[in-house]
């Protein structure tokens, strides 16, 4: 089980979603992925993608315009 | 007969305009990122964008002003940190998106496989393949 960090600060649509998906593809079940960014729509949309793919949303933290999303990859 | 629609998007890129290529690739990448399968069918003017070195060279669909409008738009996009079409196509390919090239357009316009970016093209095909892909897709778009 590993912790993966992705930095999407200053990135815009659709990069935060795409980089999250790339990280999911390269990770294994149980891995934790943390994405940080400041593109506001991605803060809503990454959780939608996580739900659609049935992974687990652990937390969303906000600090001004910046956000940090943690997800956990589903087993199987 | 397939009657079950899959979590899949099929996009026809008929236009060769730069802004419309952006729409196709942004939606394509977004759908892949959100867990869907995606095919983009490049046909007519859209197929021009699959020629070697031509992905970025389409005009703006409105206010192109002989390229001045496009230049201005590219500057604005650069400032907003928007990816280039080449970067988007690379991500689309990496996330498993399918690129379909219309072989009838190739005949009409005299385009050979050698003219196209064969390394990113999944399949050379015609309307039957598009219909087959579209009938099992929940989302189909014509751009």
CB of A21 less than 8 A from some CB of B: yes
* Strand bridging mode A56-63 / A32-37: unpaired
Structure confidence by residue, pLDDT tens digits, B93-125:
999 999 999 999 999 999 999 999 999 999 999
Contact B99, B117 (CB under 8 A): no
Asked, for residue B1, whether it belongs to a domain, the answer is no
- Domains in chain A: boundaries: 3-72
Contact B56, B18 (CB under 8 A): yes
The pLDDT of B49-66, averaged and rounded, is 96
The DSSP output letter for B92 is: H
Contact A21, A51 (CB under 8 A): no
Q: What CATH number did the domain enclosing B134 receive?
A: 3.40.1260.10
Which pTM was predicted? 0.92
Contact A17 B30 (CB under 8 A): yes
Q: Could you report the average pLDDT of every consecutive run of 10 residues in chain A (76 residues)?
A: 94 96 96 97 96 96 97 89
Asked, for residue B96, whether it belongs to a domain, the answer is yes
Q: Which residue of B has its CA nearest to A21?
A: B33
Q: Is A3-72 in CATH node 3.30.110.40? A: yes
Contact A46, A35 (CB under 8 A): yes
Per the structure, the complete domain to which residue B87 belongs is given by 6-142
The shortest CB-CB distance from B33 to any of A11, A12, A21 is to A21
Number of domains in chain B: 1
Structure tokens given for A57: 């949303």
The pLDDT of B58-81, averaged and rounded, is 95
Contact B32 A18 (CB under 8 A): yes
The DSSP output letter for A8 is: E
Contact B98, B123 (CB under 8 A): yes
Contact A12 B82 (CB under 8 A): yes
Is A13 considered catalytic here? yes
Band of residue B54 on the pLDDT scale cut at 50, 70, 90: very high
What per-residue confidence (pLDDT) applies to A1? 81
Is the predicted pLDDT of residue B2 greater than 80, yes or no? no
* Nearest CA distance, A18 vs chain B (angstrom): 5
Asked, for residue B84, whether it belongs to a domain, the answer is yes
Band of residue B1 on the pLDDT scale cut at 50, 70, 90: very low
């Amino acid at each position: 089980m590993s912790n993966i960090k992705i930095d999407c600060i200053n990135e815009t649509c659709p990069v935060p979603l795409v980089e999250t998906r790339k990280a999911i593809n390269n990770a294994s079940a149980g891995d934790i992925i943390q994405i940080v960014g400041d593109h506001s729509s991605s803060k809503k949309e990454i959780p939608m993608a996580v739900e659609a793919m049935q992974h687990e949303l652990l937390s969303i933290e906000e600090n001004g315009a910046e956000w940090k999303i943690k997800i956990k990859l589903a087993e199987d | 007969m397939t009657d079950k629609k899959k979590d899949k998007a099929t996009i026809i890129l008929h236009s060769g305009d730069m802004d419309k290529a952006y729409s196709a690739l942004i939606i394509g990448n977004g759908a892949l990122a959100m867990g869907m399968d995606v095919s983009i069918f490049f046909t007519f003017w859209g197929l021009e964008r699959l020629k070697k070195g031509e992905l970025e060279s389409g005009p703006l669909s409105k206010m192109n002003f002989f390229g001045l409008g496009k230049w201005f738009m590219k500057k604005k996009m650069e400032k907003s940190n928007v990816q280039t079409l080449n970067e988007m196509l690379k991500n689309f390919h990496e996330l498993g998106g399918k690129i379909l090239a219309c072989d009838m357009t190739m005949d009409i316009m005299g385009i050979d496989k050698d003219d196209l970016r064969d390394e990113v093209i999944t399949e050379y095909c015609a309307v039957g393949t598009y219909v087959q892909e579209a009938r099992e897709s929940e989302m189909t778009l014509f751009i």
